[in-house]
Every structure is written in C-alpha cells, then in structure tokens.
Structure 1
C-alpha cells in the first residue's frame, strides 16, 4: 500500500466530486473501485469522505443547482496559507467564483476556489485536521494529475508564480507540447498544450488519473455500472490509459500501475 500522509506544498492534495445524484455516485465508485463512504454529518453540509483500504482518497457532495455547473471533479492544491496564495493568484490573473475570501472548514482546514487565467477551475487546501488523500498509486487511488490548457505558456507562468513549481520540459513541438512539475524529483503532475486536442466548447481543465490493476477490466466495469467511455484504453509510453465518465457525467481517467 502506497501511503502519503505529507503532501508537498504546491502539489495536488485532494479531489472532490459535485454530484447531482450522490447515492448513485457512491454506488458506482464503490462497485468499480471498492471505495467506502462516511458522511461528515449536517455540520459539514453532508460532505462525504470516500476511503480505500481505510485511507481517504476523495470527497463527494451534492451539486447545488445554484452553482449552475455540470457534475464534475475539482482538484485542490496544498498551501500553507490560502489567503496569501489566493492573493498571489488574483494578482497573476486568476478569477474567483463568488467570494474571494478563503472559507474555513471547522477542524479540517481552509479552502479557496478559483479559475486560472486560461479558464481551468481548481481549489486550494490548507490542512489543519484533514491531510488530504492518503492512498496513492494504487487501484482506485490518485496516480497523476494533468492540466490541458488552451493557454500553455500563460498557464506555466501562472502556476510557477503562484506555487513556485519547478517545471521540466518533456516535449516542445507543435504536435506535442508538455511539461511536468517536479516535487522532490518526482513528477506529480503535467501541463499539456491542449490547443489541438480539446474539443470545441470544452474549456481548459484539470483532471486526474485513478490507478487500475487492469484498465480494460475497469473500463468494462464502468460501462456495466452506468458510466461511459470518452477515450478508449490505449497503450502509451506512460502506461495503458483511458478517459471515462461516471453515470452523472463527471469525467476522470484511468492509468495502469505498471
């Protein structure tokens, strides 16, 4: 079991799902990935923590119609000071939804939400009692994170300014422009020039990969339990990958663990 109890500052620390059918989402992720669920109760608006092998991996909450947003996942990045990070982000061109003030979650941490200058939505998390996902690089746990953006250079400048990322160029051609952010020498996320690949009308976005012992088997399980396939499983230099969606349309990716 790959346990991570300390997340590097500036790295992804948590993911949560806003779902229009929380019960259906729990049934889906429970069947496909073996997640178990525990509600935080009314005090936290019914927020649900999903665990795998006894370790937290993700959160679920009801998608409020007032948000006027489709069901989807949000990636949060670790910060030791949400207010200072939010101020840097706003100065660098970020756009907030609603209040620009950080929100304290009692005994858990402090959060902030915004979109980067290229339109990709993400969150900030300053942990106090909640340390984020603790299981990584396992079946049903986060493996990797990626930004697909229509503003590749602007995104690089923004995230380096806000989080101080150390970027390493993987490829810099018109066909494939990609860089990774290194944390202690480990590439935990990537930035991709999505100009050629993002479908019309799809904004820049952050997404993540969940580990799968058998990607093709997981794809079939996703279909069997009401999900859909966005991009068929294929072998790549980075393992066997697939893009899928859960029954309410929230997208995520699968990655082999080899």
Structure 2
C-alpha cells in the first residue's frame, strides 16, 4: 500500500494528559506510549496520533476539524462516553446517512460518533 501523501497521524492538545489517556483507554480501549511528560501517542484508534500538553482544545466552534468515530450501537457508546467522563455537546441527531452525537473528552477536545444503524426499539 502506498502511504505517500496520505493522512498518517493526527495530534490534539490536552489540558490534562492523565485524564485524557484514562478516558480513551476506558471508553475505547486505545493504547498509549508516553514520550516525556508532555506528549503521549495513541494507537488502536483506527488512525494513530497523539496528545500534547497545552492550555487549549480542539472544537468545531473554533473551526477545528472534527474526528468522527463509528459505532454499531450509538446509544451504548453514548452511555459509555458519559460514564467515562465525557460531556455530550450535541445529543444524538439524525442526518442524511445516519445518526450521530458529539462529545468533549475531559480536556475539552470535541469528537463525534456516528452510526448508520437505526435507533434501538
């Protein structure tokens, strides 16, 4: 596979690396490798990346790109991210092609989760 000029890695700021790592480990099973006290790389997320210590966060209201995860059980994933400490910033809504919600992890970075599977009955 030719990876030349393809998206390979994504980085996010984190106000609290420990809380961010704990959230993604518990909620989604991501794995982390620390590179010093101010940077931690993640894997097992579908796309590798990292979090760097900073007093900012990534949010669509500030024009940031939105990383969207897929779920085969949207309601279950919503409950899991809330239980693990995320704040839901947009509850589940429908759009052409499916449904999704947006959440902010403990350091404030916004992510979304979508599904093409209908609502549980």
Q: TM-score, normalised by structure 1?
A: 0.40
Show the counterpart of 1:71.
Answer: 57
Distance change (3 Å), C-alpha of 1:228 and 1:7:
farther
Does structure 1 retain, via aligned residues, the 8 Å contact 2:9–2:47?
Answer: no
SS in 2 for 1:13: coil
The equivalent position to 2:49 in structure 1, one of 52, 58, 61, is 58
SS in 1 for 2:41: strand
Larger Rg: 1
The equivalent position to 1:35 in structure 2, one of 2, 7, 30, is 30
Does structure 2 retain, via aligned residues, the 8 Å contact 1:19–1:61?
Answer: yes
Unpaired runs of 5+ in structure 2? none
Shift of 1:71: 2.2
Show the counterpart of 1:248.
Answer: 107
Does structure 2 retain, via aligned residues, the 8 Å contact 1:28–1:246?
Answer: yes
Show the counterpart of 1:236.
Answer: 95
Number of aligned residue pairs: give it: 117
Q: TM-score, normalised by structure 2?
A: 0.78
Unpaired runs of 5+ in structure 1? 74-147, 149-201
Work out the CA distance in 2 between the residues paired with 1:248 and 1:46.
14
Shift of 1:234: 2.4
Shift of 1:246: 0.6
Distance change (3 Å), C-alpha of 1:12 and 1:207:
farther
Show the counterpart of 2:68.
Answer: 209
Higher relative CO (CA 8 A, sep ≥ 6), structure 1 or 2? 2
Show the counterpart of 2:10.
Answer: 15
Show the counterpart of 1:159.
Answer: none
RMSD of the alignment, in Å? 2.6
Work out the CA distance in 2 between the residues paired with 1:19 and 1:203.
16
Distance change (3 Å), C-alpha of 1:214 and 1:38:
same
Distance change (3 Å), C-alpha of 1:46 and 1:247:
closer
